[in-house]
A and B are shown apart, each in its own frame.
Chain A
Amino acid sequence: MTTAPRTTPTETDVAVLHLLLQLIAGTYRSPADALRDDLVSGALAEACAALAEALDLDAPGLLAPDWTTLQASYIDLFVSSGNGIAAPPYVGYAIDGELMGPSAQLLGAAFSDHGIELQDAWSDLPDHVAAVAEGGTLLAHGARPEAALALLEGYLAPWFERYATAIEAKDVSGFYGPMTKFLQAAIKEVTREARS
C-alpha cells in the first residue's frame, strides 16, 4: 500500500474551502430576507472579495441588483420557467440526469454516515445545490476538510460544469450570472490547488 501524494490541508486551506462552500450555499438558497441582508450589508461582496484575494481571482462585478428582478430571475433559472428552467438546482440531476438517482442516494448515504441529517423544515430535495454546499460547510467546520473537498469536487463541481454557461446566458438579475462564473472559477482553483 502506498500513500497518495497529498499533504494535510492547512488551516488557511480549510478556511478558504469553508468560505467557498458558504458562498455557494448563500447564493443558491431561495431569495429571502437572509440573502437580502447579506447583499444590503455588503457582507456578501466582502466575502467574495476575500475569497478572490485568497485564490488570486477577480471578484465578481455584481450589479446593484433590483430585489424583485433577482427573485424573478431565481424562479426563472431554478424553479419554473415557460421555456424550461436553465438549471435544475440538484447536483444528482446534473450527474445522473434523473432526480433522486444513484448519485443522490450515494450522497444521502454519505451525509448520514457523517452524522448529517436533513432538517424537517427543508421542503426541497436533499441534493439541492444550496443544501449540499451547506452540508459541505458543516463538514469543513467539523474538521472533515477532505470530505468537504471531495464533496466539492464530486458533486458540486459537476453541477457547475453542466449549468454554469446556461445560468450566465439566461440570468437577467446581474447577480446569478456573475456569481456562478466566479464560484465556478473558485472551485476550479481550490480543487487545482488541493491536488497540487
Chain B
Amino acid sequence: MKLGRRDFIKLSCATVGALAVGSTAKAQLFPGGFPNPFRPPPGKWFEGDVTTSYSYCEMCFWKCGMKVSVEGGKVRKVDGYLENPKSRGMLCPRGQAAPATTYDPDRLKKPLIRVEGSERGAGQYREASWDEAFDYIAEKMFAIRDEHGTESVAFMGHGTGDEWFASYLPGAWGTPNAAKPSVSLCTAPRETASVYTFGRGIAGHEQIDWDETDYIVLIGHHIGEDTHNTQLQQFAQALTRGAKLVVVDPRFSVAAAKAKDWLPIKPATDTALLLAWINVLIEEEIYDAEYVEKYTLGFEQLAEHAAQYTPEWAEAITEIPADTIRRIAREMAAHAPRAVLPVGRHVVWYGHDDSHRMRALYFVNILLGNYGMPGGYYLCDAPIVDTFPAPELPLAPAAGGCGGGPVEVGDSPFRPSVDRGKFFGTATSVQEFIEPMITGEPYPVKGLFAYGVNIFHSIPMVERTKEALRHLDLYVAIDILPMEHVMWADVILPECTFLERHDDLNLVAHKTPFIQARFPAVEPMYDSKPAWWIARELGIKLGLGEYFPWENIEEYLDRRLSSIGSSLEAMAEQGTIVRRGRPYIADWERLNRNPFDTPSGQLEFYSERFAEAGLDPLPVFIDPMEGPSGYYRLLYGRSPVHTFARTHNNAVLMEMDSENSVWLNTREAERLGVSHREYVYLENQDGVVEGPVRANVTERIRQDCVYITHGYGHKAPLMKLANGRGASDTHLQTRYDLDPYSGGAGLRNNWVRIVPGAPDPQHKSIAQLVRERSQA
C-alpha cells in the first residue's frame, strides 16, 4: 500500500462539524479501540486451579448451605450443594452474588474513631488500631456502668454474629436491653401467637410441609419476591406438582401471578377474611371434627365467637365477595388436611391487629386439621449440640430469636429491659429502646451497639432515632459497609464478610434438623475481623475473659462438635450433618410424647392467659386506621435480588435491580396526571418527603394503596452504588402501632401522597459507577 505526496489533500470534508475533541480525554472504556479487536480474551477461572470449601450463606438470614470455589486467591463462584437441606444444590440470586459483596471496594477497611469534637453524623473519623478502638469502647462502657448501671448499654444485632452481639456479650456484660430487629420489626406477632396457640414457636423457617400439600392459601406472603431459597423451591415444586394456589393480596404479586384465584383484598382487613373462613368452616361443619376433638381446647367458645363473622359481614369490610369467601373455604376443606395457609415472615403490618390475624390464621389451619399433619405444618426442633464449657452468664440472653419463642426473664439481679410492661410478650422490642435514650425513662440508655442492623432502614421514625443517637455517651457500629447509620458511630468496627470467616455452628430446626458449618474461603481483606474475634477481644477488655475461655474459633467449634461425635476436620469435609426429624404428630405419639407445650397440652383456641392479662382471649377484627384523603396506604415488600437494606451496594445485584419504583394503579395515575416511569416524590402524612422515585403505573395494584420495595433510598455517600437511588419506605414510616401482644411495630399505618414533577435525578448506570469506582 502506498500513498504519495497527496496525503495532505485539503478537503473541506474533514469538518462535518458534528464532533469535537473535548478538553479532557477520560480513561478508555475499551482500552485502545472501539472496542479493541487486538486484545485476546483472558483465561477463565474454571480452567485454573480451583479449590472448594463449605460455608453457609449470609446474604440473607435463610442461611443456605454453600460451596465456595476459590481460584487464584479469589472467590470466583458459590453454589448450593445437594446434601444441604436448605440449598439442596441451589442458591437464590443474592446468594449467587455473594462474591460481589466480598469484593465491594466501598467496604469498611479499618477501625475508625470519630474525631473528637465532631458531630455524630458528620462523618469525621480517624483510623485506629483494634486495640485502641477496644480501649476507647471499654472506657466509655465502664463510665456508663458506674453512673447508670450495666443495663444502660443496649445491643442490637442481626446476622449470624448477632449471637455474639445481641445475646452472648450482653448476657456476659449484664444487660437485658438486647434486641434483634428480626423480632419486633418482623416476626414477633406470629411467634407470640404461635407460642400461645401451639405451645411452640414457628421454628426454623416457616415449617410448611410444601412437599405434601395440595392447596395453598397465601395471605400477603410474597414468595417469589422473597427469594427464600428452600421455600421458593418447594413452593414452585408444589405448583408444578399440581397444588392449587390462592393468593390474598392488595397487589398482584409474583405469587398472585401463579395463583388460580387472586383475591385483591382491601389492605388491613385480612383478619376479617380469616374470621369469616373460621365462620364458614364451623357453620357448614366442614372442619376436621376429629382433629379438633382430639387436639384442641376452646372450640365451643370459638364457635360461639365466630358466629358473628359471616361472609356477608366480611364482604363489606374486605371487598371480597361473600360467595368467593365461601367457595375458597369449601375448597380448602375439600383438600384438608393437605390444605395450608402458610404463615409469612414479616407480619408486623398493622400493630393492634397483628396477633389477632396470626391467631386467626393458625385457627383456620387447625380447623383444617393440618398442624403436625402431612401437607400442613410440620413440627421441628433444632438439633442439640453442647455449648463450649464456660461459666454461666450473669444474665440469660434476652433478645430471643425470630425462629424461637420469646425468652422468659426469670428472677435476676438486673433491672428488666426498658420495654418491659409495654406489651404482653417477653422478647425485647427493638423500636422501644429508642424512646428511653431520649427521655431516660424508665431508666437511661446511654450506650448502643449496632451489629449488622441498619437502624435507619429498619426502625421507624428515623429522625427520632437520630435524635436518640445524639443523646448517647457511646455508640458502636459493627458492620461491613459504611451505611449511613454506621457513619454516626463513635467507633466503627469493620467486620469481614462471611466468605472470609468462621462462625458459630448453625443449628437448624427443619423437617430434617441439621447442623452446618462455615469455613473461611479466603483470608479477611483489609483490617477486617470476624464477629467472634471482635466479641472475644472486647469481652477480655471488659474484664469478661472468663466467659470466653477458648483461644480461637477452631478450638471452640471443635469442642462443640466433639459433643456429637464429630470434629472440625470432619465438618470441613462434610459441611452439613443431617438428623432425622419428628415432623408429624404421629411421630411423637409413637414415643408417647406430646408436642404441644401449652398449659393444657392442647392447641388452644381460647387463651386463658390472654384473658387473665385483660387481652382478648379470641381473635377479633379491629377497624384499621384510616389515612387522610388523597393519600394512599404505603405498602412495601421485597425485590427478589435484595435483602433488607443490605445488598444495595452489591454491583451484580444492583445491576439487576438498581432502583425501586412506586407502584400506582393506572386509574389513579391518570387522575393525577402521572405517567409511567416518570419521577415523583412521595410525601407522607407527616410531611416527610422521599424520592425522586419512578412511578410504576400498573394494573397490578388496588387504587387505595401504593407499593415500593424496601431497602432503597440510601443516604450514604460512601456507598457509591446504593447512595441516593430510589425511595426508602422506612423514612416514610413516621408512625407505627404497637402490637399489645407481641411488641411488634405495625408499619403499614403510614400514608403517602404522590407529588408529580420530580426532576429526573439522572442516575448513572451501575456499569458507569463501577467503572468510575475502579478508576478512583
Question: Which A residues are closer than 8 A to B by beta carbons?
Answer: 1-4, 6, 12-13, 15-16, 18-19, 22-23, 25-27, 29, 34-35, 37-38, 43-44, 46-47, 50, 53-55, 107, 109-119, 121-122, 124, 126, 128, 130-131, 133-135, 137-139, 142, 144, 146-151, 153-155, 193
Contacts and interface: CB of A to CB of B under 8 A. Distances in A.
A138 B21 contact: yes
A15 B33 CA distance: 18
**Considering residues B7, B13, B20, which has the most beta carbons from chain A within 10 angstroms of its beta carbon?**
B13
B769 to A, nearest CB: 14
Given A19-B3, A115-B24, A29 B34 contact: no
A134 B18 contact: yes
Interface of B: 1-4, 6-7, 9-30, 32-40, 42-43
Nearest to A115: B25
B16 A113 contact: no
B contacts with A: majority SS: loop
Closest 6 CB pairs of A and B: A26-B13, A115-B25, A131-B18, A150-B34, A113-B29, A15-B7
Contacts of B18: 118-119, 122, 124, 126, 128, 130-131, 134-135
**Considering residues A109, A128, A155, which has the most beta carbons from chain B within 10 angstroms of its beta carbon?**
A109
B43 to A, nearest CB: 8
A27 B12 CA distance: 11
A13 B14 CA distance: 18
Nearest to A193: B1
B740 to A, nearest CB: 56
A124 to B, nearest CB: 7
Contact of B14 (A55, A117, A137): A137
B12 A34 contact: yes
Given A4-B39, A44-B13, A193-B1, A109 B29 contact: yes
A3 to B, nearest CB: 7
A134 B16 CA distance: 7
Contacts of B22: 112, 115-117
Contact of B40 (A1, A27, A134): A1
B176 to A, nearest CB: 57
Nearest to B25: A115
17 contacts: A3-B40, A6-B38, A25-B13, A26-B13, A110-B35, A114-B25, A117-B20, A118-B19, A119-B19, A126-B18, A130-B16, A130-B18, A134-B17, A134-B18, A148-B34, A154-B35, A155-B34
Contacts of A16: 1, 3, 7
Contact of A110 (B10, B27, B34): B34
Given A13-B1, A19-B7, A113-B29, A142 B13 contact: no
B7 A113 contact: no
Given A15-B7, A113-B27, A147-B33, A2 B17 contact: no
Contacts of A2: 40
A142 B9 contact: no
Contacts of A118: 18-20
A54 B1 contact: yes
A18 B36 CA distance: 18
Contact of B10 (A25, A43, A111, A115): A43
B16 A131 contact: yes
Contact of A150 (B13, B19, B35, B43): B35
